[in-house]
């Protein structure tokens, strides 16, 4: 785990949880592919811990029972939410194959994760307060991207994102003084976006 802002992340090790889910899938003769995003990808990269896994997958009653059983065994379900959920599909389309990588491959379960740059795009689309903080953390710790270049890459990936959302994330990473300086130094180019 990385130390970010002087804090070490303490996280759930989801590998044994996924292994048990795989065992349950074997027991009933099903296979499952998960494309993980959100806090779990942040945790994979050492940015912050998460208590649940947001993923793209096809849900049904039988699968929900397995997910609940595994979560109960590990005591990681919340009263109103299972440890694994697909609610992220309500805010984002499923990521294209070229932007995902394999994290675990078991006999009946494959766990994928979106690339960190794609996660930035997803978070800038949903633009909640935690999403801005997450993108700010990524930008501050592991990105040499400049705002215009980042926006161009994200648009190239198919995201419809406004420059103001990108700049909000940079402000979260570097502060209002950085943003003021950026505006001062890029007035002509900013006119292209407004």
Tell me the pLDDT tens digit for each residue of 72-110.
999 999 999 999 999 998 888 899 999 999 999 999 999
Q: How many CB atoms lie within 10 A of CB 171?
A: 17
pLDDT tens-digit map of 28-77: 999 999 999 999 999 999 999 999 999 999 999 999 999 999 999 999 99
Residue 177 CA to its chain's centroid (Å): 28
Dist. CA 156–CA 15, nearest whole Å: 33
User: Which residues 6+ apart lie within 8 Å of 36 measured at CB?
Assistant: 44, 53, 54, 55, 103, 111, 112, 113, 114
Are 103 and 92 within 8 A, CB to CB? no
> Is 4 a residue whose pLDDT tops 60?
no
The set of residues, in sequence order, having a beta carbon less than 8 Å from that of 25 and lying 6+ positions away, is 31, 32, 66, 108, 109
CA distances from 75 to 36, 51, 83 (A): 20, 11, 9
Q: pLDDT tens-digit profile of 120-174?
A: 999 999 888 899 999 999 999 877 779 999 999 999 999 999 999 999 999 999 9
pTM: 0.88
Compute the distance between CA of residue 1 and CA of residue 50 in angstroms, rounded to an integer: 13
């Amino acid at each position: 785990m990385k130390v970010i802002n002087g804090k070490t992340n303490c996280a759930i090790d989801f590998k044994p949880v996924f292994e048990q889910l795989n065992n349950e899938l074997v027991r009933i003769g099903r296979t499952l592919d998960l494309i993980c995003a959100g806090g779990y990808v942040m945790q994979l990269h050492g940015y912050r811990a998460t208590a649940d896994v947001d993923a793209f997958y096809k849900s049904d009653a039988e699968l929900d029972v397995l997910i609940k059983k595994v979560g109960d065994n590990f005591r990681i379900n919340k009263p109103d939410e299972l440890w694994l959920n697909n609610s992220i599909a309500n805010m984002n389309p499923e990521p294209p194959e070229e932007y995902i990588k394999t994290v675990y491959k078991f006999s009946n379960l494959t766990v994928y994760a979106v690339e960190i740059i794609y996660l930035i795009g997803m978070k800038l689309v949903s633009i909640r307060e935690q999403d801005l903080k997450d993108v700010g953390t990524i930008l501050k710790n592991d990105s040499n991207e400049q705002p215009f270049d980042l926006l161009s890459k994200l648009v190239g990936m198919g995201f419809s994102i406004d420059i103001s959302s990108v700049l909000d994330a940079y402000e979260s990473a570097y502060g209002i003084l950085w943003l003021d300086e950026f505006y001062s130094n890029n007035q002509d180019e900013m006119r292209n976006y407004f």
